[in-house]
Amino acid sequence: MITLKGISKTYRIAKRAPGLLAAVKALGKREYETVEALQALSFTIGKGEIVGYIGPNGAGKSTTIKIMSGILVPDAGECTILGKTPWKNRVAHVRDIGVVFGQRTQLMWDIPAMDSFELLRDVYKVPKETFQTNLDELVEVFQLADFMNAPVRQLSLGQRMRCEIAASLLHSPPILFLDEPTIGLDAVSKVAVRQFIKRINHDNGVTVVLTTHDMNDVDALTDRVMLIGKGRLLYDGSFETMKQRYSTSSLLTVDYDPAQTLPKLPHTLLLSCENGRAVLEADTLHTTISAVISALSQAVTVQNVTVQARPVEEIIADAYKEFAL
């Protein structure tokens, strides 16, 4: 469905030293540096997949999305989406995709979002009945009724982002590119967006490519992740496998009889202990949670145990460190 082969893209960026003298010199002679945004990038995404496309700032994520959307033309390589080359068959291609850029808008700034929705209906030639059905569903899911008739410039970031996502789905695209889609959203709106993405993926087979720095979005939505860094694909596989690889510890909060003394356990670090409550960090590379709990139960009267896995953000941060990103 989506195939990239050897995609490369470079940018020439003007540079100069700070200060007035350097600015004057730059008027006569500019210096440039070449930045390789993408280096022979290749991957395939099948129909109905939800893929997390992750990496640090400047890794090449947005450049990839822009190439797949037909906005940018690569310097080399091939990209085929539903049998079309995005930048060569752009008019036909955009009917098959929905795109949300968290830092950009497709809505008209000085008119109500509803007017932009009507314009998009004409642009994509969506039948009126289909448009109204889709609009009613999106208004309900994202709770747009209270502000969709206000000028976009008067909306909060979270309200605008909900309208942006709705606008990208009005024409029922089979492919959805989401670049930082939950930026600025509150917890309730994030949950609504995630649930809706899952629903259209499950019910309609919509293929979703998600780029985000919110690893909770990736954890909630994706089974497969692609890690990109410095324009190269560094990892492509199961998100669970990545978590297991870098999640080397778990925290246990144990409530026990304060009259008793906790034992020293192998591969387990006691972080705090006060008034019958202890917090331990277990090295899951060398022991298991069940083994730690069993050893504790044999030594003290355990009243309650809470196990907390390592935060997803820390796991991804360790992956970045391994690849020197």
Q: Are residues 237 and 304 in the same domain?
A: no
Q: Are residues 162 and 257 in the same domain?
A: no
Furthest-apart CA atoms within the chain: distance in Å: 80
Residue 294: domain span: 248-309
Q: Are residues 89 and 221 in the same domain?
A: yes
Residue 184 has what pLDDT?
Answer: 77
Interacting residues of 310 by C-beta distance below 8 A, sequence separation 6+: 247, 248, 249, 250, 251
Q: Are residues 203 and 304 in the same domain?
A: no
In DSSP terms, 269 is beta-bridged to: 281
Angstrom distances, CA of residue 90 to CA of 72, 73, 204: 11, 11, 23
Q: Which residues of the chain have pLDDT under 50?
A: none
Q: Which of residues 229, 244, 259 is at a domain's end?
A: 244
Residue 22 has what pLDDT?
Answer: 64
Q: CB–CB of 250/308 below 8 Å?
A: yes
In DSSP terms, 253 is beta-bridged to: 279, 306
Helix, strand or coil for residue 324?
A: coil
- Structure tokens that stand for 182 in this block: 């939950």
Q: Residue 3, Cα to own-chain centre: how many angstroms? A: 20
Residue 166 has what pLDDT?
Answer: 93
Name residue, tokens 């044999």.
298
Residue 23 has what pLDDT?
Answer: 67
Q: Are residues 61 and 134 in the same domain?
A: yes
Q: CB–CB of 240/287 below 8 Å?
A: no
The C-alpha torsion from 186 through 188 and 193 to 199, rounded to 10°, is: 170
Mean pLDDT taken over the chain: 89
What H or E segment, with its residue span, contains residue 240?
helix 239-246
Please state the domain count of the chain: 2
Q: Are residues 274 and 224 in the same domain?
A: no
| Amino acid found at 84 | K
Residue 100 lies in a domain: yes
Instruction: Choose among 182, 155, 26: nearest CA to 100.
Output: 182
Helix, strand or coil for residue 19?
A: coil
The model's pTM is: 0.81
